[in-house]
């Protein structure tokens, strides 16, 4: 067992390289990435890198010397196009191929595109990689009209950066509230208000139907009226990069299906990060889009690849930075959870705990690190805490449960 190949050079891949070498894997190690960069962190792309507060160099997860010292062969700017499972070889787009004993799929996800009229006009952007941000940032000047299609994390983070730069921002959202997939209604209402106070306009219950313009975009047509725009950012979710796995006959279902050890339906092929569909912490299956998942699942995948399988049961967590508001979420909320508010949203420092059958299942915390940390601990312990205790600010968060 002396040849490991990793397809995809992102967050999960970088972690897998580190864990494999830390676990004394001494065989050959090759990383194949289709972007021209070594693995980099994406969260700052819609935050400090977009605002210009974060230099490009700081995006890279590890210095080049790390890959040299890890004796990891980097094949960058080239796409893996096929896995031949019978011959155990990975084929690249340039016709070359590489043998593997064990393979890690860390292919991440790509943006969900909107196949609407005018989507190819100049000024219509998506955001997933460094090049996307470099293109968008150039437009963010005072007075420019930006239409953000999709009021999720990425759309709202971009809106926050843009409005601070004097850009005239309108967010177009199909649902009746923002961040609908990620947070509870009170949290959506709080964030919508925070953005409105900063000058962002919203068109809710509005679906983009086309983009207007002859060569460059001039507006967005929606079912609830038109929005004039000089630039458009579309942030309507991502789709897992699973095709290379599906074509090789691996089981896929909204992500590459893996077990709790990050093993696919082929015992020599592992997968980690945004591309996977895996057993969820609280039961069922889930596809997560987060740094935590990429890092933790890659660690478990690497352990399995060196013959020390260990099950992935970490509590999921996520964060978002908008203005001076740090949103930290742990656990996976469900619509039927009992939501207990702690603290006053008007203070811009509060939390919403989720109880499921009396057990703490999730926490959403705004500028409330102690509540978030306590929430993570309580979720991991599957602790029972009464709503009264959770809501009582006189009980320190660390003493809850």
Nearer to ligand FAD (CB atom), residue 37 or residue 207: 37
Kindly list the distances between the CA atom of residue 181 and the CA atoms of 79, 270, 333, in Å, as whole numbers in the listed order.
31, 28, 10
Options 102-110, 112-120, 144-152, 217-225: segment touching ligand FAD (CB under 6 A) = 102-110
User: Is residue 319 near ligand FAD by the rule CB under 6 A?
Assistant: yes
The answer to whether 274 contacts ligand FAD (rule: CB under 6 A) is: yes
Which one of residues 5, 29, 45, 245 is an interface residue with ligand FAD (CB under 6 A)?
45
Tokens of 324: 């001076």
Out of 5, 31, 42, 355, point to the residue binding ligand FAD (CB under 6 A).
Answer: 42
**Cβ(393)–Cβ(380) under 8 Å?**
no
Residue 292, helix vs strand vs coil: helix
Instruction: Report how far residue 360's alpha carbon sits from residue 276's, in angstroms, rounded to the nearest whole number.
Output: 26
Question: Do 101 and 6 touch, CB atoms closer than 8 A?
Answer: no
Cβ of residue 90: shortest distance to ligand FAD, in angstroms?
9
8 binds ligand FAD (CB under 6 A): yes
Query: Which window, 9-17, 64-72, 347-355, 382-390, contacts ligand FAD (CB under 6 A)?
Result: 9-17
Backbone angles phi, psi at 31, to 5 degrees: -115, 125
- Residues in 60-79 that interact with ligand FAD by CB under 6 A: 79
Q: How far is the CB of 163 from ligand FAD (least distance, A)?
A: 17
Residues contacting 370, CB < 8 A, separation 6+: 396, 397, 398
- Binding flag, residue 43, ligand FAD (CB under 6 A): yes
362 beta partners? 331, 354
Q: Which is nearer to ligand FAD, 200 or 294 (CB)?
A: 294
Question: By CB under 6 A, is residue 80 in contact with ligand FAD?
Answer: yes
For ligand FAD, the closer of residues 326 and 348 by Cβ is: 326
Examine residue 188 and tell whether it contacts ligand FAD (CB under 6 A).
no
Residue selected from 6, 12, 17, 114 as contacting ligand FAD according to rule CB under 6 A: 12
- Tell me, residue by residue from 231 to 270, as one string, x for binding to ligand FAD by CB under 6 A and - for no binding: ----------x--x--------------------------
Does residue 106 belong to the site contacting ligand FAD (CB under 6 A)?
A: yes
CA distance 264 to 245: 9
Among candidates 82, 13, 69, which has minimal Cα distance to 245?
82
Q: Give the H/E segment covering residue 247.
A: helix 243-247
Contact criterion met (CB below 8 Å) for 138 and 41: no
Residue 347 burial (CB count, 10 A)? 10
CB 9 within 8 A of CB 39: yes
The residues that touch ligand FAD, with contacts defined as CB under 6 A, are 7-13, 32-35, 42-43, 45-46, 79-80, 106-109, 127-128, 154, 241, 244, 273-275, 289-292, 294, 318-320
């Amino acid at each position: 067992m002396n040849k490991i190949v990793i397809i995809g050079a992102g967050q999960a891949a970088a972690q897998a390289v580190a864990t494999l070498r830390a676990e004394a894997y001494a065989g050959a190690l090759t990383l194949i990435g289709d972007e021209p960069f070594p693995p980099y962190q994406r969260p700052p792309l819609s935050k400090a890198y977009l605002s210009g507060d974060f230099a490009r160099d700081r995006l890279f997860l590890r210095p080049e010397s790390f890959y040299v010292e890890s004796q990891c062969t980097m094949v960058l700017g080239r796409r893996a196009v096929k896995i031949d499972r019978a011959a155990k070889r990975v084929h690249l787009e340039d016709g070359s191929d590489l043998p593997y004993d064990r393979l890690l799929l860390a292919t991440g996800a790509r943006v969900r595109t909107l196949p609407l009229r005018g989507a190819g006009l100049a000024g219509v952007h998506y955001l997933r990689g460094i090049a996307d941000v470099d293109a968008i940032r150039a437009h963010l000047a005072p007075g420019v009209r930006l239409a953000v299609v999709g009021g999720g994390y990425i759309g709202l983070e971009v809106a926050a950066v843009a409005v601070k730069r004097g850009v005239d921002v309108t967010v177009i959202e199909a649902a009746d509230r923002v961040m609908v997939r990620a947070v509870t209604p009170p949290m959506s209402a709080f964030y919508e208000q925070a953005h409105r106070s900063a000058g962002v306009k919203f068109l809710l219950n509005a679906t983009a139907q086309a983009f207007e313009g002859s060569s460059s975009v001039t507006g967005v047509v929606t079912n609830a009226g038109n929005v004039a725009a000089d630039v458009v950012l579309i942030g309507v979710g991502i789709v897992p990069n699973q095709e290379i796995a599906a074509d090789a006959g691996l089981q896929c279902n909204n992500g590459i299906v893996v077990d709790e050890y990050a093993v696919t339906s082929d015992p020599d092929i592992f997968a980690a990060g945004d591309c996977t569909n895996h057993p969820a912490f609280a039961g069922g299956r889930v596809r997560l889009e987060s740094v935590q998942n990429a890092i933790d699942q890659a660690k478990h995948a690497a352990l399995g690849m060196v013959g020390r399988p260990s099950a992935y049961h970490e509590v999921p967590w996520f964060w978002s930075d908008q203005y001076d508001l740090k949103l930290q979420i742990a656990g996976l909320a469900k619509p039927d959870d009992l939501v207990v508010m702690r603290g006053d949203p008007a203070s811009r420092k509060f939390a919403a705990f989720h109880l499921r059958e009396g057990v703490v299942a999730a926490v959403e915390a705004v500028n409330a690190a102690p509540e978030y940390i306590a929430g993570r601990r309580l979720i991991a312990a599957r602790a029972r805490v009464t709503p009264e205790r959770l809501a009582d600010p006189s009980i320190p968060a660390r003493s809850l449960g």
